[in-house]
Amino acid sequence: MKTYRNEHVTVIVDCGVHFIQQTWTGLPTSESFQNGSLAILALARKHQPKRWLIDLQALRLFNPIDLQWFIQEWLPRATLYLPHNIRVAIILNDLNQFGKLGADMILRASARQNDAVVSRYFVGNEEARQWLMLWDK
């Protein structure tokens, strides 16, 4: 199991099941968001996950400038280096519409670059994990 952590994100990679989980908290600074996102990309590039869990329950919101960077810089890199048949589960707190808005923007941009990405929103960790683990492609 591989991990990465900064003040706003914790990342866990389970190579045995091609799984990566990132858990965002608080209100990340641009530096923290970009460094965390780049570290996630490096781990994902190395381990080629097919299952991706993004936990945004404790995230307060995305900075619009960071979202723009993510869509314009991070996603094109990810499209080049990551498997095209990836399943993404996003866990949201029902009350966190800002997190959902940011996640929607990212998922729409991701789908335009890679139509093989399958994604779904959840409000619970266990249901999200079960959905991810049912997928064996």
What is the domain range of residue 79? 2-134
Q: What is the mean pLDDT of residues 66-79?
A: 89
Q: What is the mean pLDDT of residues 103-125?
A: 77
Q: How many domains does the chain have?
A: 1
Q: Are 26 and 61 in contact (CB under 8 A)?
A: no
Give the pLDDT confidence score for residue 78 in this predicted structure. 86
Confidence label for 95 from pLDDT (cuts 50, 70 and 90) = low
Q: DSSP letter at 104?
A: H
**Residue 128: which CATH number?**
3.30.750.24
Please name the residues in contact with 4: beta carbons below 8 A apart, sequence gap of 6 or more. 10, 11, 36, 39, 40, 43
- Residues 96-106: pLDDT tens digits? 565 666 677 77
Tell me the range of 10-19, 60-69, 81-90, 91-100 where mean pLDDT is highest: 10-19
Nearest to 57 by CA among 107, 17, 103: 103
